[in-house]
Amino acid sequence: MLWIKIKYRLTILYKALFFKLGLGKLLLKNRYGEHILVFHGIDQKEETKYNSRFISEKYFENLIRYFTENYNVISLDDFYQKKFKKETLNIALTFDDGYLNNYKYAIPILKKYNIPACFYITPIHEKSDNLWPDFLDLVSFYSQKNKIFFEGENYMKNSRNEYTSNNVSLKNKCKTLPYDKIFPLYQIFEKEWNEIQLKPLVDYWSLMTSDQIKEIAYDPLFTIGSHGLTHSNLQQIDLNEAKLEIAKSKTVLENVCKQSIDEFAFPFGTYTNELVNYCKEIGFSKILLVDYNTQDDSKDITTRNRFVMNPYISMKQQISCLLKGSYF
């Protein structure tokens, strides 16, 4: 793990140096291939202090403009049908989580450049108006509590605004739990969350409404897919609960969109073959991951791996990593 971190930092440093020396063109030289990209939130400030998943509206527009001028951006359907152009990079865009900020900032830009995209929604709305990872990032940042007691353990706040117990972060702990067990955190941080809701931070947690999701589903440029019901880590929780998360999310979204939902993106990108098979059984035909668990898994025609965008590097560095297909 440490070596991977060092290798990543060295690669990013070397790329930054290349661009500084004016040699960046070499890194942006056209390489061919195809990638499905994963975006999360879009904000107006390029703020990464609350979480590591947001890029700014301005950056996003620059990136989309660059893509349309230099590469072939296609729908996920065309991507699955391998309608690729030769001698260029073929890209399909996906957005995970279903943030209101996607509707406010990303969609107008995508429409302006006529770029197709898929939105993977966590339709938790009945239980909550936010996703637990965003809630946890924000309360961890703002809370004055040095220590909390959760799931039988004491979690101490560190200098990186994370709560940890025996070197396990609270977020990683939550990734092993079903939603009902995560929910007590909302009581623990009730005061903080009430204060956060009064701050101009709505872009960092607010989700799209059912009407907005439906509107997107009916736009010929876009598709709606599922991202699990509560953003639980499906690989880690009980198998039957994981199956219920997948099936319920499909039913809820089909009721919202009044059309069949056949795309599924695993929360956190973590999956098992059993869950992939279950997705297929209940009618998902496009199943999106991040990394394949094994090389063998890449032979499955319903699954695709995806390249997650990184908000901590410059746009040119991002593009050079994309062309290489790796941050290393």
Q: Contact positions toward Zn ion, by CB under 5 A?
A: 96-97, 267
Q: How far is CA 294 from CA 172, 236, 273, in A?
A: 23, 18, 10
* Residue 24 or 267 having the CB closest to Zn ion: 267
CB of 224 to Zn ion, least distance (A): 15
Q: Minimal distance in Å, beta carbon 205 to Zn ion?
A: 13
| Nearest CB to Zn ion, comparing residues 143 and 232 | 232
What's the one-letter identity of residue 53?
Answer: R
C-beta closer to Zn ion: residue 41 or 267: 267
Q: Return the structure tokens found at 9.
A: 């930092």
Handedness of CA 8, 14, 18, 19 (dihedral sign): positive
Residue 115, helix vs strand vs coil: coil
User: What is the smallest separation between the CB atom of 98 and Zn ion, expressed in angstroms?
Assistant: 9
Contact 23, 35 (CB under 8 A): no
Q: How far is the CB of 124 from Zn ion (least distance, A)?
A: 11
Q: Which is nearer to Zn ion, 24 or 225 (CB)?
A: 225
Q: Are 248 and 263 in contact (CB under 8 A)?
A: no
Q: For residue 257, what is the enclosing H or E element? A: helix 239-257
Element (H or E) spanning 92, and its range?
strand 89-97
Our CB check for Zn ion shows the closer of 96 and 245 to be 96
Nearer CB in complex with Zn ion: 71/271: 271
Tell me how far apart the alpha carbons of residues 80 and 304 are, in angstroms, rounded to a whole number: 8
CB of 228 to Zn ion, least distance (A): 8
Q: What is the DSSP letter of 200?
A: S
Q: How far is the CB of 194 from Zn ion (least distance, A)?
A: 25
The secondary element (H helix, E strand) that includes residue 4 is helix 2-20
